[in-house]
Structure 1
Protein backbone atom coordinates (compact mmCIF):
# COMPACT_ATOMS: atom_id res chain seq x y z
CA UNK A 1 0.00 0.00 0.00
CA UNK A 2 1.39 3.39 -0.98
CA UNK A 3 1.99 6.18 1.53
CA UNK A 4 -0.44 9.08 1.59
CA UNK A 5 0.75 12.49 0.37
CA UNK A 6 -1.51 14.37 2.80
CA UNK A 7 -0.06 17.35 4.63
CA UNK A 8 -1.50 16.35 8.02
CA UNK A 9 -0.14 13.28 9.77
CA UNK A 10 -0.69 11.75 13.22
CA UNK A 11 2.30 11.75 15.57
CA UNK A 12 2.95 10.33 19.03
CA UNK A 13 4.44 12.54 21.76
CA UNK A 14 6.32 10.88 24.61
CA UNK A 15 7.52 12.37 27.90
CA UNK A 16 11.28 12.94 27.83
CA UNK A 17 11.80 13.07 31.60
CA UNK A 18 10.05 9.71 32.20
CA UNK A 19 12.59 8.09 29.90
CA UNK A 20 15.47 9.41 31.99
CA UNK A 21 13.78 8.44 35.29
CA UNK A 22 12.94 4.90 34.14
CA UNK A 23 16.53 3.86 34.92
CA UNK A 24 16.10 5.06 38.52
CA UNK A 25 12.61 3.46 38.75
CA UNK A 26 11.03 6.74 39.93
CA UNK A 27 8.10 6.65 37.49
CA UNK A 28 5.63 3.81 36.99
CA UNK A 29 5.01 4.45 33.28
CA UNK A 30 5.56 6.66 30.27
CA UNK A 31 3.16 9.45 29.31
CA UNK A 32 2.12 9.48 25.64
CA UNK A 33 -0.13 11.82 23.65
CA UNK A 34 -1.43 11.54 20.08
CA UNK A 35 -1.71 14.71 18.00
CA UNK A 36 -1.52 15.89 14.40
CA UNK A 37 1.03 18.07 12.66
CA UNK A 38 1.34 19.62 9.24
CA UNK A 39 4.34 17.99 7.61
CA UNK A 40 4.95 20.98 5.29
CA UNK A 41 5.00 23.62 8.07
CA UNK A 42 6.95 21.55 10.63
CA UNK A 43 9.25 19.11 8.84
CA UNK A 44 11.36 18.54 11.98
CA UNK A 45 10.42 16.68 15.14
CA UNK A 46 7.66 18.26 17.21
CA UNK A 47 8.20 19.10 20.90
CA UNK A 48 5.37 20.37 23.10
CA UNK A 49 5.04 21.10 26.80
CA UNK A 50 2.32 18.78 28.14
CA UNK A 51 1.23 17.45 31.54
CA UNK A 52 2.73 14.10 32.56
CA UNK A 53 0.56 12.20 35.07
CA UNK A 54 3.54 10.06 36.14
CA UNK A 55 5.85 13.00 36.89
CA UNK A 56 2.95 15.14 38.21
CA UNK A 57 4.20 18.23 36.33
CA UNK A 58 4.40 19.81 32.89
CA UNK A 59 7.32 18.41 30.90
CA UNK A 60 8.62 18.43 27.35
CA UNK A 61 7.01 15.73 25.20
CA UNK A 62 8.91 14.91 22.02
CA UNK A 63 7.78 13.21 18.83
CA UNK A 64 8.64 9.52 18.55
CA UNK A 65 8.66 7.17 15.62
CA UNK A 66 5.81 4.65 15.72
Structure 2
Protein backbone atom coordinates (compact mmCIF):
# COMPACT_ATOMS: atom_id res chain seq x y z
CA UNK A 1 0.00 0.00 0.00
CA UNK A 2 2.63 2.56 1.00
CA UNK A 3 6.14 1.59 0.01
CA UNK A 4 7.82 4.08 2.34
CA UNK A 5 6.42 2.43 5.48
CA UNK A 6 9.11 0.12 6.82
CA UNK A 7 8.64 -3.07 8.82
CA UNK A 8 9.20 -2.19 12.48
CA UNK A 9 9.40 -5.61 14.09
CA UNK A 10 12.36 -7.86 14.71
CA UNK A 11 14.23 -9.34 12.91
CA UNK A 12 13.65 -6.64 10.27
CA UNK A 13 14.26 -3.75 12.65
CA UNK A 14 15.81 -3.36 16.05
CA UNK A 15 15.80 -0.43 18.45
CA UNK A 16 12.58 1.01 17.02
CA UNK A 17 12.04 4.53 18.35
CA UNK A 18 8.90 6.58 18.92
CA UNK A 19 10.00 8.65 15.91
CA UNK A 20 10.05 5.49 13.74
CA UNK A 21 6.52 4.59 14.85
CA UNK A 22 5.28 8.15 14.27
CA UNK A 23 6.88 8.31 10.81
CA UNK A 24 5.11 5.08 9.79
CA UNK A 25 1.81 6.41 11.18
CA UNK A 26 2.26 9.69 9.32
CA UNK A 27 2.91 7.88 6.03
CA UNK A 28 -0.18 5.72 6.56
CA UNK A 29 -2.44 8.70 7.31
CA UNK A 30 -1.05 10.60 4.32
CA UNK A 31 -1.76 7.65 2.03
CA UNK A 32 -5.26 6.98 3.34
CA UNK A 33 -6.31 10.65 3.41
CA UNK A 34 -4.69 11.59 0.12
CA UNK A 35 -3.12 14.65 1.77
CA UNK A 36 0.61 15.18 2.12
CA UNK A 37 -0.09 18.20 4.28
CA UNK A 38 -3.67 18.88 5.45
CA UNK A 39 -5.38 22.25 5.24
CA UNK A 40 -5.60 24.36 8.39
CA UNK A 41 -9.18 23.24 8.99
CA UNK A 42 -8.16 19.56 8.77
CA UNK A 43 -4.85 19.79 10.64
CA UNK A 44 -6.27 18.82 14.04
CA UNK A 45 -8.16 15.83 12.62
CA UNK A 46 -5.06 14.75 10.67
CA UNK A 47 -2.85 14.97 13.78
CA UNK A 48 -5.36 13.00 15.89
CA UNK A 49 -5.34 10.29 13.24
CA UNK A 50 -1.53 10.15 13.25
CA UNK A 51 -1.53 9.87 17.05
CA UNK A 52 -4.17 7.12 17.00
CA UNK A 53 -2.36 5.11 14.33
CA UNK A 54 0.97 5.53 16.15
CA UNK A 55 -0.61 4.31 19.40
CA UNK A 56 -2.18 1.31 17.66
CA UNK A 57 1.14 0.53 15.96
CA UNK A 58 3.02 0.65 19.25
CA UNK A 59 0.44 -1.62 20.89
CA UNK A 60 0.76 -4.07 18.03
CA UNK A 61 4.56 -4.12 18.25
CA UNK A 62 4.46 -4.48 22.04
CA UNK A 63 1.96 -7.35 21.95
CA UNK A 64 3.37 -9.43 19.08
CA UNK A 65 4.60 -12.84 20.14
CA UNK A 66 7.71 -13.59 18.12
CA UNK A 67 9.60 -16.82 17.89
CA UNK A 68 13.22 -16.18 18.82
CA UNK A 69 15.77 -18.33 17.09
CA UNK A 70 18.85 -19.22 19.11
CA UNK A 71 22.06 -18.55 17.23
CA UNK A 72 24.33 -20.78 19.32
User: Higher relative CO (CA 8 A, sep ≥ 6), structure 1 or 2?
Assistant: 1
Higher radius of gyration, 1 or 2: 2
Greater per-residue strand proportion: 1
So what's the TM-score if we normalise by structure 2? 0.23
Greater per-residue helix proportion: 2
